Amino acid sequence: MASDKTSEQQAPEAGRDFIRDIVAADLAAKRHGTVVTRFPPEPNGYLHIGHAKSIGLNFGIAQEFGGRCHLRFDDTNPAREEQEYIDAIKRDVKWLGYDWGDNLFHASDYFDQLYAWAQDLIRAGKAYVDDQSQDQIRINRGTLTEPGKNSPFRDRSAAENLDLFERMKAGEFPNGARVLRAKIDMASGNINLRDPVLYRIIHASHPRTGTTWKIYPNYDFAHGQSDAIERITHSICTLEFEDHRPLYDWFLDNLDVPSRPHQYEFARLNLTYTVLSKRVLTELVRGGHVAGWDDPRMPTIAGIRRRGVPAEALRDFIKRIGVAKANSVVDAGMFEFSIREALNRTALRRMAVLRPLKVVIENYPEGKSEELEAVNHPDDASAGSRKIRFARELFIEQEDFAEVPPKKFFRLFPGNEVRLRYAYFIKCTGVVKDAAGTITELRCTYDPATKGGNAPDGRKVKATMHWLSAADAIPAEVRLYNPLFNRPDPSGGEGFTADLNPQSLDVLKDARVEPALKEAKVEQPVQFERQGYFCLDRDSTSQKLVFSRTIGLRDTFAKETAKG
């Protein structure tokens, strides 16, 4: 096995992307002593491959420039957040190969300070309690072309605001009765500056603070100030927050914060055949469209891992796609490329017959068997070899035989000779069928002179096939995963179910694998020769092995397109 260590310390690459350029310039100009970044997930779902891009960027920059990266849970909405997600997020960041060390934080660590800052804004006449309903607030916010309207509660005295805010905190009012808003400018061209909501009343139990708080800061009020408290230097987020940057700065300008972070925006990852909306991913799980957050068809880090993708492949993909300022959609084939690259290097080769067809070698003595040598990796002699057993009764793949061969079919058909990998040439001499006409068995002969796979007389065969000895082969279930969506641009909204691929999972209950696979370990990649990369699934028991296909040997998406 090649090692899968975390991305090693490397020199920052000048010009690699615009954010690294900014960090390099800031460090060179001594605007900061060290770079401090953060990855700020909201624990309302599992992390997905888009988050991996953000993790790779934030932790990667910290590593490359000798700084640090904080893991900060943006746990400001107890109505949607759960401990399960917090645990999963930590597991996934670690699995990706990153380490936050002692720097694990929560926005909820700062609830007291944030509350005190909100009071400061009230005292300075820069925040007020608004009694309008959510709907009224939305209507009065105006549109892109029309200014908003001032709330009738906008000019409350500081004393009245402080009192109401205190009573909101004490839990005197029901959800939605009042909010705290910043008093900025209802006519601003930037809607985010039209008196944004800072606090809302939520009666719910918070995973960390329990029922202590009845009011919760929203993302905008918590985020920048948390950055300032943690002395984050570069607060890197996705493009949709670009319009929030003036608000991010407004809070820092109007509060007595301990440091002055800056926000930078980059383009989020979008992938063909993939939906990365947390709302849709949650729906896929809740609606039973997949078997859970770590279903191997999910674009979640947990799903990708369970599918057998090494962390190294995900990091390689993140590095290849780079970081840009303009939104784009990455071809899912690119991720597959990184997966195959990593797996081709590391996965040991094994034989498995997914849809078995029995073969009887008529001229091979009954009761006899012999061991043959099979290499574990064609490009890595240090991976060694193993013994595989040849005998009179074998299994081959159903699709490797055709009673009436179509054009250019070079595999087994009556009268044709092929090579069994590591073994002998065999020739088909007969076909046995049941009463319904289904082929149940092939009769073949072998040429003892071709042991090892070559004929002393120099004759050639056009196909080399995988096979197993019937007596040795171990039954297994094999799960063939295909893309979850059947369109390159699936709907990321309401209509997503219409774009689900009905063939995203094909379960083969009657497959056979070679005995060496008894030693397979969960998530450890293996190549089934000629079929693709697979890994043992954790659903396996001592009674039943279950293998999942990580990826086929050739580009899934190119093939799909060619088929039209």
Among 7, 54, 161, 233, the residue binding ligand ATP under the rule CB under 6 A is: 54
Q: Is the Cβ–Cβ distance between 46 and 282 less than 8 Å?
A: no
Report if residue 36 touches ligand ATP, rule: CB under 6 A: no
Q: Work out which of 269, 281, 352, 374 binds ligand ATP, going by CB under 6 A.
A: 269
Question: Could you tell me the smallest distance in angstroms from the CB atom of residue 473 to ligand ATP?
Answer: 43
- The yes or no reply on residue 40 touching ligand ATP (CB under 6 A) is yes
Give the binding range for ligand ATP (CB under 6 A) out of 43-51, 198-206, 207-215, 345-353.
43-51
Residues 6+ apart with CB under 8 A from 236: 19, 37, 54, 57, 58, 61, 263, 264, 265, 266
Which one from 91, 94, 268, 421 is the annotated catalytic residue?
268
Site membership for ligand ATP, residue 238 (CB under 6 A): yes
Scanning the structure block, which residue is given the tokens 């099979």? 374
CB of 336 to ligand ATP, least distance (A): 18
Q: What's the 3-state SS for 161-180?
A: HHHHHHHHHCCCCCCCCCEE
Question: Is 149 tagged catalytic?
Answer: no
Q: Which of 20, 38, 156, 278 is catalytic?
A: 278
Smallest Cα–Cα separation from 199: which of 177, 225, 179, 229?
179
Complex with ligand ATP: residue 88 or 480, whichever CB lies closer? 88
Instruction: Report the residue number, 327 or 561, with the smaller CB distance to ligand ATP.
Output: 327
- Strands (E) in 14-119, as ranges, are 36-39, 68-73, 104-106
Q: Does 278 bind ligand ATP (CB under 6 A)?
A: yes
Compute the distance between CA of residue 259 and CA of residue 32 in angstroms, rounded to an integer.
11
51 binds ligand ATP per the rule CB under 6 A: yes
Query: Residue 365 CA to chain centroid, in angstroms?
Result: 52
Q: Is 490 in the site for ligand ATP (CB under 6 A)?
A: no
Tell me the closest approach of the beta carbon of residue 194 to ligand ATP, in angstroms: 21
Smallest distance, ligand ATP to C-beta of residue 179, A: 20
In the complex, what is the shortest distance from the CB of residue 486 to ligand ATP, in angstroms, rounded to a whole number?
A: 21
Q: Which SS3 state, helix, strand or coil, does residue 262 take?
A: strand
Q: Which is nearer to ligand ATP, 64 or 74 (CB)?
A: 74
Taking the least distance from each CB to ligand ATP, the nearer of 318 and 423 is: 318
* Beta carbon of residue 494, minimum distance to ligand ATP (angstroms, whole number): 16
Find the residue with minimal CB distance to ligand ATP. 50
3-state secondary structure of 109: helix
DSSP 346-369: HPEEE-EESSEEEEEETTSPTT-E
Q: Give the residue, chosen from 268, 319, 451, 530, that forms a contact with ligand ATP under the rule CB under 6 A.
A: 268
278 is catalytic: yes
By the rule CB under 6 A, 237 interacts with ligand ATP: yes
Least spacing, CB of residue 525 vs ligand ATP, in Å = 26
Q: Which region, judged by CB under 6 A, interacts with ligand ATP, from 45-53, 150-158, 329-337, 507-515?
A: 45-53
Return d(Cα 555, Cα 540) in angstroms, integer.
Answer: 28
Q: Binding of ligand ATP at residue 121 (CB under 6 A)?
A: no
Per-position x/- string for 153-192, each x denoting binding to ligand ATP as judged by CB under 6 A, each - no binding:
----------------------------------------
Q: Is 41 a binder of ligand ATP (CB under 6 A)? A: yes
Binding residue (CB under 6 A) for ligand ATP from 6, 44, 113, 556 = 44
Nearest approach, Cβ of residue 289 and ligand ATP (Å)? 19
Report helix angle 49-64 to 83-96, nearest 10: 60
DSSP state of 107: G
Say how far apart CA 247 and CA 229 lie, in whole Å.
Answer: 17
Token pair for residue 216? 């919760």
CB of 278 vs ligand ATP, minimal distance in Å:
5
> For residues 504 and 284, what is the distance between their CA atoms, to the nearest angstrom?
13
Q: Pseudo-torsion of CA 411, 416, 419, 423, nearest 10°?
A: 130
Q: Which stretch binds ligand ATP (CB under 6 A): 46-54, 251-259, 379-387, 400-408?
A: 46-54
Number of other CB atoms surrounding residue 148 within 10 Å: 20
Q: Are strands 393-397 and 369-375 parallel, antiparallel or unpaired?
A: unpaired
Q: Are 547 and 532 in contact (CB under 8 A)?
A: no
**Token pair 């995988």 in the structure block, residue:** 466
Name which of 86 and 463 has its Cβ closer to ligand ATP.
86
Q: Which of 20, 32, 53, 214 is in the footprint of ligand ATP by CB under 6 A? A: 53
Binds ligand ATP by CB under 6 A, chosen from 17, 26, 42, 499: 42
In the Cβ-directed half-sphere of 4, how many Cα atoms lie within 13 Å? Answer: 22
Number of residues counted as binding ligand ATP (CB under 6 A): 15
How is 212-251 classified by DSSP, letter by letter? S-SEEE-HHHHHHHHHHHTT-SEEEEEGGGGGGHHHHHHH
Residue (of 17, 103, 105) closest to 67 by Cα position: 103
| Residues tagged active-site | 42, 268, 278
Binding site for ligand ATP (CB under 6 A): 40-42, 44, 50-51, 53-54, 74, 237-238, 268-269, 276, 278
